[in-house]
Structure 1
């Protein structure tokens, strides 16, 4: 039966992990809305060839990031529910990789003033609109970014703590198995040799009985 600390860590990990799920769902919905608007602009525009010449990379990137966050959230929920060491390790590595990528992108934006030139041209214009929207609500997005980073860091720490707690519980259980239980299992029933030997009763042969009577 799991301990109270393990149950508490599971619940906290699920709640913190759900933050990334909410962000992923919001990004997927916003990406679908941008794709719908772009498709409507293509149908209403006379220069369809200009739209088809360049892929809407910003919409695809937005959708891909949102779907990735949703998948990571599912992996984290399964890992927290099962408390499996391998699943928790994989989940921790994935969160670390995502966190490193986010830090690399943030460092490039802050240190490189011409970072926009490294990006391909966006035919939809949604990247420019999204940039202006972020700049106009920079304080809100700053706190959202800090919340996401804090949630990811907390997920890493909670997953590591839950994995360590599972290992300690397993080692204690192994040490308790040194003493055989009162009811032995059916397969491994030779943990402790019995003090007496159970065998077929020995009856004297006819010759032994005849010699004794004689």
Structure 2
């Protein structure tokens, strides 16, 4: 039981660490999207005209929010070790990994992948592409680290779900402790009954002696 509890604690800590890495990446994406949105709003105000919606900015903002929400749900699932919470967390992280993998495969395997995305009026999408191309190795390592943390989060959630919540072990230990306490109660009941039985003859004998004394008088 103690070894299983130590294993559960280690898995919970590792799952929280993996989720924290995903959460940091999500916060970075949100800050980058807010910075681009501020620059876009200033540009629109300077031109005094209604510009199309910058889909790239809102996509990054939504992605960052989803990653932060998954981090929060992962921390809750790791803390409670609830099977339903862990299953929901695994499903949503798996869907996010599938979406990221499909986008990456489209970029690397399709030579005309830019046609699959709508035109970005803010121009931030083109700037982002140039930044990734000029810093490809760094972006590659960052992307692999985030995806690896997400995959590790799924694996650790599966392991923690197999171990089960901690309170089940507490229930088992309580059940095991009940039989050890029952003999004490039985011994007390036996001592109490014997004490009553030994006292009854004494009371009856004293009552008989009093009657005999009164009769002799």
CA distance in 2: counterparts of 1:84 and 1:130, whole angstroms: 40
CA distance in 1: counterparts of 2:94 and 2:29, whole angstroms: 20
Q: Spell out the pairing of 1:16-31 with structure 2 (5 A cutoff).
A: 16-31=18-33
Query: Match of 2:119, SS?
Result: coil
- Partner residue in 2 for 1:190: none
CA distance in 1: counterparts of 2:27 and 2:103, whole angstroms: 21
CA distance in 2: counterparts of 1:15 and 1:38, whole angstroms: 35
Describe the shift of the 1:37–1:132 C-alpha distance in structure 2 as closer, same or farther (beyond 3 A). same
Q: Spell out the pairing of 1:52-201 with structure 2 (5 A cutoff).
A: 54-166=52-164, 170=168, 177=175, 180-183=178-181
Describe the shift of the 1:103–1:58 C-alpha distance in structure 2 as closer, same or farther (beyond 3 A). same
CA distance in 1: counterparts of 2:84 and 2:167, whole angstroms: 16
Are the counterparts in 1 of residues 80 and 165 from structure 2 also a CA contact under 8 Å?
Answer: no
CA distance in 1: counterparts of 2:173 and 2:38, whole angstroms: 61
| TM-score, normalising length: structure 2 | 0.76
- Partner residue in 2 for 1:207: none
CA displacement at 1:167 relative to structure 2: 6.5
Residue by residue, what CA displacement relative to the aligned partner does 1:64-91 show, whole Å, maximum 9, x if unpaired? Answer: 0000000000000111111111111111
CA distance in 2: counterparts of 1:7 and 1:163, whole angstroms: 13
CA distance in 1: counterparts of 2:19 and 2:166, whole angstroms: 24
Query: Match of 2:44, SS?
Result: helix
CA distance in 1: counterparts of 2:164 and 2:105, whole angstroms: 37
Are the counterparts in 1 of residues 56 and 125 from structure 2 also a CA contact under 8 Å?
Answer: yes
Residue by residue, what CA displacement relative to the aligned partner does 1:117-163 show, whole Å, maximum 9, x if unpaired? Answer: 12111110000001101111000000011101111111111111111
Root-mean-square deviation (Å): 2.7
CA distance in 1: counterparts of 2:167 and 2:80, whole angstroms: 15
Query: Match of 1:74, SS?
Result: helix
CA distance in 2: counterparts of 1:63 and 1:137, whole angstroms: 22
CA distance in 1: counterparts of 2:10 and 2:70, whole angstroms: 21
CA distance in 1: counterparts of 2:92 and 2:118, whole angstroms: 27
| Pairs aligned (count) | 184
Query: Match of 2:179, SS?
Result: coil
CA distance in 1: counterparts of 2:128 and 2:121, whole angstroms: 14
Residue by residue, what CA displacement relative to the aligned partner does 1:146-187 show, whole Å, maximum 9, x if unpaired? Answer: 101111111111111111111798489659848853447xxx
CA distance in 2: counterparts of 1:183 and 1:94, whole angstroms: 47
Greater share of helix: 2
